[in-house]
Amino acid sequence: MVKAVLAFAALTGLAPLTSASSASDYWRRQPQRRDVSPTATFAPVPSTSPTVSPIVPNPSPNYVDSFVKPCGEAFSLNGQPFYFAGANAYWLMNQTNDWVDAAFGNLSAQGIGVVRTWFFNNGYYNTVNGTEQAFNDSPEGIGHLDYVVKRARDYGIRLIATLANNWPDFGGTHYYLQQTGYQYHDDFFTQPELIQLYKEYISHILNRNNTFTGILFKDDPTFFAWELMNEPRCLSYTDIKSQNCTTATMTNWIDDMSTYIKSLAPNTMVTVGDEGWFNEPSLVDNWLYDGFNGIDFETNLQLENIDFGTFHTYPDHGWGAGTTGYDLSFEWGEQWIRQHRTVGAKVGKPVVNEEYGFAQRTDRMSYEQYYYAVTEDIGIAGDLFWSFWIAPPDGSPIAEGNSANSTYTPGLNYYTNDTDWPIIRQHVYNMAQQNLPKGQADFSCFGANNMFCSETAA
C-alpha cells in the first residue's frame, strides 16, 4: 500500500488520502444526487410567473458568434482567456419555456455564462425497439431543445450539452439495454448494435436545425462543448458490470465517440463528463483511485479528440468522509482538486470541476469559500455547482418523485432564495477577472487544437 501511494504521488505530486473504504460500503459512498426520478411530476408554473431578470447585454457583439477553444491549460474566446464559474441546470430539457426563461434570466443576473444541461430524455425523445430507433421532434420533445438553445444564446450563456446518462434517470444506458435485451451495463460501450444506436442519436441531435435561429446545433457557438455521458462507468446501480470491463473498455469507447462527434462538429469542444477517477490498480479498495469504475482520467485526457477533462467533487457526501470525518473531507476535497489540476498541466489541457456540491447545508458557505480560494489560486479553467433550481414563490417542492432527493431537500441543490449567492457571485467575479488582458496582453493561440499559446504584453 505504501508503495502504491508513493507511485501515485509521483504521478500527481500528491498522494491520495487513505480514507476508510471497502467493497461493502462502495454503494453507500455513491452520491445520491439524482433530484428527479424518471416518473417525477413537476410542479406547474405558478400563476405568478417566476421572477425573470432582464437580459444582461453580451460582453461583445461576437460573444455567441465565436467558439470557445482549448488553449493549453485554459480556454480562449476571441483570443482572450475564458475562465468561468458556471452552474448545472440539467432539468431544462423537460421544463416549460417560462421556467427556461426564468433559469437563464436568474443565472445571467449572477454573471454566470456557462451552464451544463442534459440533451436526452430516453424513451420520450427517442424510442428504441431492438435495432430500430425513432425520434420525437415535436415542440414537447427534441424540439424543446431549440428554445433552450435560443434563450441561452439570447442571454449570452454557453451550454455544455450532455448526450446520455450512465444512470437510469431519464432513460440513460439502462433504457438502451432494456430495449435491446442486453444484460451487462458495459454492453452499452462494447456491443456494435448499441454503439450504432447511440451514434444515430448523436447525429440526430447535432444535425438538428434550430427552428428559432436557423442554425444547426453542430454549427452553433452557443455550445461550449458536447459531452459524451453524465458520469460514465462500467456499472450503475441498476445494471451490473461484466468481468470484461476495464479502463481500456471505457477509453476505447470514449475515443470512438469523441472522434465521431468531432467528425460532425469539428469546431465545438468535446469532453467526457466523467467523475475524474484515477487508475492506480495497486490502490485496492480505494475506488476513487484503483480503476474499478473503468475510468482512467489521465489516459482519457490524452485522447486526441477530448479537449478538456472533467471531474466531480463531493467532499462531504461519502467521497471524502473517512475515519476523521468532517476535517478529512475538507482536506480530501482540496487534494482532489489539486490532483486533477496537476494532471491537466502534465497533459497540457484544461480541466473543469464540472459538478461540486456539499451535503452539509449549515456549513456549505465554509466549503464554498475554502474551495473557491483553491480553485482561483491554482488556475482551474472552470467549475459548475450542482445544481441550480428556481424556488417556487410558495416554497413548495420543485418536483415530486420516488428518488432520494426528489423534493426540496437540504444540501446539494442551490435555489434562487438561498443565502449564499453573494459567495457564488464573488467567485464568478474572481474567475472572470482572470479573463482581463494583463496590461492589454495579446493572448493568442495557434496550431492543432490551439495547443500553442503565447501571451505578450502590448
Give burial (CB, 10 Å; 0-12/13-18/19+) of 327.
exposed
Specify whether the CB–CB gap between 120 and 171 falls below 8 A.
Answer: yes
Sequence letter at residue 356: Y
- Distance in angstroms (rounded) separating the CA atoms of residues 206 and 263: 11
Give CA separation, 152 vs 117, 155, 219, 329, in Å: 11, 5, 15, 35
Any catalytic annotation for residue 355?
yes
Residues contacting residue 15 through CB under 8 Å, at least 6 positions apart: 5, 6, 8, 9
Give burial (CB, 10 Å; 0-12/13-18/19+) of 451.
middle
Check the CA dihedral 319-386-296-71 and report its sign. Answer: negative
Indicate which residue of 298, 354, 355, 376 is catalytic.
Answer: 355
Sequence letter at residue 253: W
Indicate which residue of 231, 275, 280, 354 is catalytic.
Answer: 231
What order do you get walking across the sheet with 80-81 strand by strand? 69-71, 74-77, 80-81
Residues contacting residue 194 through CB under 8 Å, at least 6 positions apart: 176, 177, 180, 182, 187, 188
Any catalytic annotation for residue 400?
no
Catalytic residues: 231, 355
